[in-house]
Structure 1
């Protein structure tokens, strides 16, 4: 009868070992509170894409025969239509809005979070150049949908934060502006211009009027 007892004891030990191993597996599956926070806030642990200008300038720096200025400061103005000082001011206006309402997926191809500065740069480049979202995205190493999201979030933030910079003139000033436009550019009833598009053109040999020449003497 002794062998049977040993057999029963061995079977009991085997069952106990299985139970212990199952308990260990269950413990492994339960995440700690710290790991849960890390998973939920994983995006906060990603690096921020703060070196955007160096990367952008390296990718878009002037080559022989290009219209891009060699100087970085002038190159910045060429791409974004404003100085770095004005750019920093705009970032300060919209920073709170762009940080407090971050949509999901605002990362570049390397997986780093887009800094406020890079978001503003993307939006300004899109608005300043009129290039396609795909083309602008390629310049900043982001996708087309990111360019779309960033641009509209920036516009909405500027509508809220920069209203004090655009003020409709009173009647007296309005008449003065209209007179200056008509005297300088022969445009009647024009009370302002936000932007303009400069188109260089080839004038036919029979047409020599100076009316087609711009301020630097080009036919435009």
Structure 2
């Protein structure tokens, strides 16, 4: 009976987007944008402009995605942790389009990571120490460190290594931030091996990311 009922479910109609469409033109407040994409209008525009050279499509197709669309599709996936199909259905794009866009935006962001995220110099460390001391009265602090589990779909290879102590699949992430909340260090690993990597990892910068 359930299988028969599924045959009669209405098909999800994809919203058509045409060349030059900018989802930022929709009447969303910064709070609403933040709820959906984890960034406000100004920050999304900044990211789009930074990635424009890599993401702008040299095509006359009416349905070519704008840079803003691509960035917001990727941000929606990053911020929600949803599956490609769910993001596509929610925003009106095919699953294959979401997959391609997320890959392209991610590659463009990674290519620029060293431009924005840098391990602090000795002079910057001293500035950070003063700022943390003024905020909390705690001396000789150059950064705040914390970790979290990022929920992922079960991988096909080495699946047991990604099961954390709470029983779900995740990647363990460690981040260090400066007094302004900018990430200066980022480390990811399997949930079972991060403890062995932390002591050596914090002594040098590696792949990093930016947080507003």
Q: TM-score range by the shorter chain?
A: 0.3 to 0.5
TM-score, normalised via structure 2 length? 0.47
Which structure: larger Rg?
1
The structure with the greater share of residues assigned to helix is 1
TM-score, normalised via structure 1 length? 0.46
